Structure 1
Amino acid sequence: MAEAANISEKGALVRPPSIAESVHQRIYERIMALEIPPGARIPIDGLSRDLNVSQTPVREALTRLEREGLVRKAHLIGYSASPQLTHKEFDDLYKFRLMLEPESARQACLKLTPETLADIEAAAADMEKGEQPVDRNSRYSRFARADAHFHDEILKVADNATVRQALNDQHIHLHIFRLMFHTRVTQEALEEHEQLLAAFRAGDPDAAYKAMHDHISFSHDRLVAAFE
């Protein structure tokens, strides 16, 4: 029997997630929560039994996670969780971000329209509100995706496809959130986002540059303790 659709609070029809989407989400949450440790092999047959699904949606989920940078596939070995960032890789990623994201915030501020500002504000609000997660793991992993979406909305408005692709190819937010799973998801990050939004609302490109620069620098300082 097909799964019944749910009705949202607004009365709209909400279809349940597909099996493939559900399997992807469950594996993603395990990787982000370090239940599947960095570098660990991910046997398809074992996951299939554990999740009580066929191997097909597991393969589809792992292929998608490989595109997202959280899983690697090796010939004759199969899938494994991507290794954790080294200290140097972590520092290099943050240097890379500081080269590109503050200027992208400045450019976004210069190009903002009421509509694109509303999109950025909606992405920021989703980090604090959004769909209610069922447990700590899903809450944490949803926050990671929402954070990536917020930063990508700014890059979209900045309208430099090369910069946006370069940052997205690094899967930065997913990797750095794995580092901090056992620390708090900081209120400071949300407050820093608010400083950035204030600059956008004021139409102040220099303040937007500084707010993004400060946010990335503070994020680095919060996370570097993971290597100590």
Structure 2
Amino acid sequence: MTSKETSAGSGRQRSRTPVVPRRALRDGVYDAILEKLLDGSAPPGSSLGIDSLARELEVSPTPVREALVQLEHTGLVTRTALKGYRVAPPLSPEQLAELFDMRGILEVAAVERAVAHTDDLLPELRAAHARHVLAAHRVRKLRGAEGQPTDFADLREYFAADWEFHLTIIRAAGNRFLSQSVESLGTHVHRLRQTVDHGTMDLEQAIDEHAAILAAFETRDPERPRAAMRDHLAAVARRVSADG
């Protein structure tokens, strides 16, 4: 290889090297801002200054700006000309109704398709339910006997386990486009958690309803899982409406 080729190769390598670190930095900033949105430290309507966030996170303004653009697409953040970015207001009653309507359409369809793969699904669904139960147990311990509310950092594992139970069924449906559609609702489910008071969580009800869905799959009756999922989503919607 000539020195010219070596130099050219080194130049190409140098030009590619920053891509992954920059993406990792942007993703890290995205996660940090997302946690601020969900833990209440950046409440709905509050301003999100690029420079102040960059100083707080000890990064340059560029990854902050890129992360805010991503968050704007999720609906968690809004941008107004000449005013910059703000935390989006909580979901309105109409938006909540539409969110649960869409979840019902997509998740019941996923259940209908997943029943054909019940034998493969059941071990994974049992494991997902066990993780959800364990996460709920940890939240109860953190709350103590008086049931004091916990902050989002304490609830992160619980929320992730709750959503993973649903995603386990959705993946078992075997339709990548259905999976992508449901997973895109994940950020809106996060917005839902902005709306609901952390002190009025439905730990017991959610665990019981997930157990009913699991038991319905175990019957091998194709109708029962669909009914159990529909009942669960309707119950969550009622609880959220009551909290609001």
The answer to whether the superposition gives a TM-score over 0.5 is: yes
Residues 165-197 of structure 1: per-residue CA shift (max 9 Å, x gap): 333333342122222133432121111111111
The verdict on how the C-alpha distance between 1:215 and 1:225 changes in structure 2, with shifts beyond 3 A counting, is: same
Unaligned runs of 5+ in 1: 1-17
Calculate the aligned-residue CA RMSD, in Å. 3.0
The verdict on how the C-alpha distance between 1:106 and 1:19 changes in structure 2, with shifts beyond 3 A counting, is: same
Aligned equivalents of 2:206 and 2:69: distance in 1?
31
Aligned equivalents of 2:71 and 2:125: distance in 1?
26
1:23 Cα deviation (Å)? 4.0
> Paired residue for 1:125, among 117, 125, 130?
130
- Which letter does structure 2 place at the counterpart of 1:136? D
1:67 Cα deviation (Å)? 4.8
Say whether the 8 Å CA contact 2:151–2:198 is kept in structure 1: no
Which residue number in structure 2 is paired with residue 202 of structure 1? 219
> Paired residue for 1:49, among 50, 55, 62?
55
Say whether the 8 Å CA contact 2:75–2:188 is kept in structure 1: no
- Which letter does structure 2 place at the counterpart of 1:181? D
The verdict on how the C-alpha distance between 1:129 and 1:35 changes in structure 2, with shifts beyond 3 A counting, is: same
Which residue number in structure 2 is paired with residue 185 of structure 1? 201
Count of residues in Structure 1 that have an aligned counterpart in Structure 2: 208
SS at match of 2:48: coil
Question: What is the identity percentage for the equivalent residue pairs of Structure 1 and Structure 2?
Answer: 30
Say whether the 8 Å CA contact 1:106–1:209 is kept in structure 2: yes
TM-score by length of 2: 0.70
1:76 Cα deviation (Å)? 4.9
1:25 Cα deviation (Å)? 3.5
Q: Does 2:108 align with 1:102?
A: yes
Unaligned runs of 5+ in 2: 1-23, 143-149
TM-score by length of 1: 0.75
1:111 Cα deviation (Å)? 1.9
The verdict on how the C-alpha distance between 1:104 and 1:220 changes in structure 2, with shifts beyond 3 A counting, is: same
Counterparts of residues 108-187 of structure 1 (less than 5 Å): 108-114=114-120, 116-129=121-134, 136-170=151-185, 171-186=187-202, 187=204
- Which letter does structure 2 place at the counterpart of 1:198? A
Aligned equivalents of 1:162 and 1:148: distance in 2?
18
Aligned equivalents of 2:239 and 2:69: distance in 1?
32
Say whether the 8 Å CA contact 1:94–1:220 is kept in structure 2: yes
SS at match of 1:113: helix
- Which letter does structure 1 place at the counterpart of 2:97? D
The verdict on how the C-alpha distance between 1:68 and 1:138 changes in structure 2, with shifts beyond 3 A counting, is: farther
